């Protein structure tokens, strides 16, 4: 804990009492969490229960130029939660109220600590659901701040597509509303989109209004297998280019299938595999499945089976969501590093194939899984952090993947965000001039640089 913020911490203690903790264990729990980066704990943690508390805490921090880092459930992967300069972590997990559900308008408003599963549970009686599904039971504040997506993105989009408005505490402690519940607006700057994906560097999101969608009449999921990963990716590309309205289209390479079989008690052939899901009417789903069957057959896709049985679907997608834990279980004593990239769909097969070849050439274990319907895929590298050679190889694979995706007119991260882990690639992706514009916006809104400093760029 740094002495430079002792006065600020004394003021925070006087203001918030037991809601503020400087306990080392508590502070460490609010550092990097799921990242491979070294943890950098904050100086204190505030368990916030409402926006006014956050506003008052931020005002104190701003007066002392003390950094502020927002915390949801801690599922970020690129060091977004580290506090390299110390500061105050504001834990928003207790701000977990579903404020309102407007079923007639297909919208809901939630506090930042509400999780996606919590909202969908609250929606069960309405016939509506919220589709963004990043795998982890993430909070809405975190999903918005990192511009999350997930398995349903190919049909329903990402957080930028479903958020209508936000309530945000600015670095000076002021609270603003960035929009309304209207489905569109031409009034002024789009502050909502500015905050989405800003990773807590411009303000703290306290409330989110999102679009909802009707539960489809029929949902059917299936699997198919390929002899090589290039053929699986080519099938994905043609499916998307054909315009088939799949709801989910997920790729698992042979290593990932092996991991899922062991962890989730499946018995799939250990080959590159696609998980697919169709939403619509019963006849519409059957037609989609028939077209998909004809597409994959062109690329050697075999054993296509699909079912609308809820139990079978749940088992399949639970296995997919547990892919991270399944991969780690391949070598439980090793550390893991999860990374992602996203490319135009026309370059998907090339990018995935080159990445898999790179991992194999280095002799590393790195299962590949991805939301390939929108060109996004993930790699989970397993490494011995006590082995310098493993670390060197891992860093090389990461750098080459990021640069490969950018060279293909894609991005170094489709959904994990930048945080600390991918700052090195931001100039390559955006150019110095665009980064300069981002920094100018940051300085205008946060002149004291207290909001999650040392993230996104150097």
Q: Is pLDDT above 60 for 1?
A: no
**Residues 201/451, Cβ–Cβ less than 8 Å:** yes
Same domain, 22 and 58: yes
pTM of the model: 0.94
Q: Is pLDDT above 80 for 135?
A: no
User: Does residue 414 form part of some domain?
Assistant: no
Task: For residue 123, give the nearest of 214, 207, 206 by alpha carbon.
Answer: 214
CATH number at residue 290: 3.30.70.2190
Q: Considering the chain, what is the average pLDDT of its residues?
A: 95
User: Does residue 194 form part of some domain?
Assistant: yes
Same domain, 155 and 263: no
User: Does residue 415 form part of some domain?
Assistant: no
Q: Is pLDDT above 70 for 65?
A: yes
Range of the domain at 357: 327-407
CATH number at residue 333: 3.30.70.60
Same domain, 4 and 106: yes
Q: What is the pLDDT of residues 120-129, one digit of tens each?
A: 999 999 999 9
Length of the chain: 458
Q: Is pLDDT above 70 for 140?
A: yes
Same domain, 319 and 340: no
- Per-residue b or e along 170-195, where b marks 16 or more CB atoms closer than 10 Å to that residue's CB: bbbbebeebbeeeeeeeeeeebbebb
Q: Is pLDDT above 90 for 3?
A: no
Angle at which helices 254-264 and 310-321 pack, to 10 degrees?
A: 120
Same domain, 89 and 143: yes
How far is residue 304's CA from residue 229's CA, in Å, rounded to a whole number? 16
* Residue 253 pLDDT: 96
Q: Is pLDDT above 90 for 200?
A: yes
Q: In terms of C-beta density within 10 A (0-12 exposed, 13-18 middle, 19 or more buried), how is residue 65 classed? A: middle
* Residue 37 pLDDT: 83
Evaluate the CA torsion angle 259, 260, 266, 272 in order and state its sign. negative
Same domain, 235 and 339: no
Task: For residue 61, give the nearest of 72, 50, 45 by alpha carbon.
Answer: 45
How far is residue 293's CA from residue 270's CA, in Å, rounded to a whole number? 20
Task: For residue 60, give the nearest of 173, 210, 185 by alpha carbon.
Answer: 173
Question: Among all chains, which residue has been given the structure tokens 């491979």?
Answer: 36
Evaluate the CA torsion angle 302, 303, 309, 311 in order and state its sign. negative
Query: What angle (nearest 5°) sits at the alpha carbon of residue 187, between those of residues 183 and 188?
Result: 125
Q: Is pLDDT above 70 for 2?
A: no
Give the Cβ contact number of residue 302 at 10 Å. Answer: 12
Question: How would residue 427 be classed by pLDDT, with cut points 50, 70 and 90?
Answer: very high
What is the arrangement of strands in the sheet containing 20-21, beginning at the earlier edge strand?
20-21, 44-47, 88-91, 68-71
* Residue 35 pLDDT: 72
What phi-psi label fits residue 294: left (phi over 0), alpha (psi between -120 and 50 degrees) or beta? alpha
* Residue 385 pLDDT: 87
The total number of structural domains in the chain stands at 3
């Amino acid at each position: 804990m740094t002495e430079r913020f002792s006065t600020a911490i004394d003021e925070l203690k006087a203001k918030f009492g037991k809601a503020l903790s400087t306990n080392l264990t508590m502070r460490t729990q609010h550092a990097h969490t799921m990242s491979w980066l070294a943890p950098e704990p904050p100086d204190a943690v505030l368990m916030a229960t409402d926006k006014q508390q956050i506003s008052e805490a931020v005002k104190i921090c701003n007066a002392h130029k003390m950094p502020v880092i927002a915390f949801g459930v801690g599922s970020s992967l690129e060091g977004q939660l580290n506090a390299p300069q110390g500061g105050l972590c504001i834990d928003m997990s207790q701000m977990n109220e579903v404020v309102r559900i407007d079923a007639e308008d297909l919208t809901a408003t939630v506090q930042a600590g509400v999780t996606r599963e919590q909202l969908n549970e609250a929606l069960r009686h309405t016939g509506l659901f919220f589709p963004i599904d990043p795998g982890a039971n993430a909070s809405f504040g975190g999903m918005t701040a990192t511009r999350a997506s997930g398995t349903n993105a190919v049909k329903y989009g990402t957080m930028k597509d479903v958020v209508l408005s936000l309530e945000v505490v600015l670095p000076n402690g002021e609270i603003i509303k960035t929009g309304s519940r209207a489905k569109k607006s031409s009034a002024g700057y789009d502050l909502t989109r500015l905050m989405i994906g800003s990773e807590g560097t411009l303000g703290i999101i306290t409330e989110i209004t999102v679009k909802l969608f009707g539960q489809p009449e029929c949902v059917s999921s299936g699997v198919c297998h390929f002899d090589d990963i290039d053929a699986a990716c080519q099938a994905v590309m043609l499916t998307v280019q054909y315009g088939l309205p799949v709801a989910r289209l997920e790729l698992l390479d042979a290593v990932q299938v092996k991991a899922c079989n062991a962890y989730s008690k499946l018995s799939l052939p250990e080959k590159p595999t696609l998980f697919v899901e169709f939403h619509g009417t019963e006849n519409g789903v059957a037609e989609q499945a028939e077209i998909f069957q004809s597409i994959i057959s062109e690329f050697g896709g075999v054993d296509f089976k699909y079912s609308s049985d809820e139990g079978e679907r749940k088992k399949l997608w639970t296995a997919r969501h547990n892919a991270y834990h399944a991969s780690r279980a391949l070598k439980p004593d090793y550390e893991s590093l999860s990374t992602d990239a996203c490319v135009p769909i026309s370059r998907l097969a090339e990018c995935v194939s080159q990445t898999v070849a790179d991992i194999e050439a280095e002799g590393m274990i790195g299962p590949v899984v991805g939301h390939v319907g929108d060109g996004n895929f993930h790699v989970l590298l397993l490494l011995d952090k006590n082995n310098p050679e493993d670390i060197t190889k891992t860093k090389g694979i990461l750098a080459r993947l990021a640069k490969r995706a950018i060279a293909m007119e894609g991005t170094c991260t489709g959904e994990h965000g930048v945080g600390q882990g991918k700052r090195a690639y931001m100039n390559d992706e955006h150019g110095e001039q665009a980064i300069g514009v981002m920094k100018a916006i940051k300085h205008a809104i946060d002149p004291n640089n207290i909001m999650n400093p040392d993230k996104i760029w150097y």
